[in-house]
């Protein structure tokens, strides 16, 4: 499930980047909306990656 969520976020971020790259003239309002969405996706992904790191540390402790 975690992989799916992170991959989904990366896919959405890729779509945002492609949108910016495809624009000859960027609509400032829409661009701002895309930037805000990107920031939220990055923040959520960082939080999930931190959770995954903690899970790995717990598993590592169990093995040792």
Structure tokens, 62:
């169990």
pTM of the model: 0.80
For 2-59, how does the pLDDT look when each residue is reduced to its tens digit (9 = 90+)? 557 899 999 999 999 999 999 999 899 999 999 999 999 999 999 999 999 999 999 9
Residue at token pair 């701002």: 32
Cα separation of 57 and 34, whole Å? 35
pLDDT for 56 equals 93
pLDDT for 1 equals 44
Structure tokens, 55:
């899970």
Cβ distance 64 to 35 under 8 Å? no
């Amino acid at each position: 499930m975690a992989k799916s969520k992170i991959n989904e976020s990366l896919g959405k971020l890729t779509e945002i980047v492609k949108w910016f790259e495809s624009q000859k003239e960027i609509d400032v309002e829409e661009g701002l909306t895309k930037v805000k969405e990107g920031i939220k996706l990055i923040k959520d992904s960082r939080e999930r990656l931190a959770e995954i790191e903690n899970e790995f540390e717990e598993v590592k402790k169990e093995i040792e």
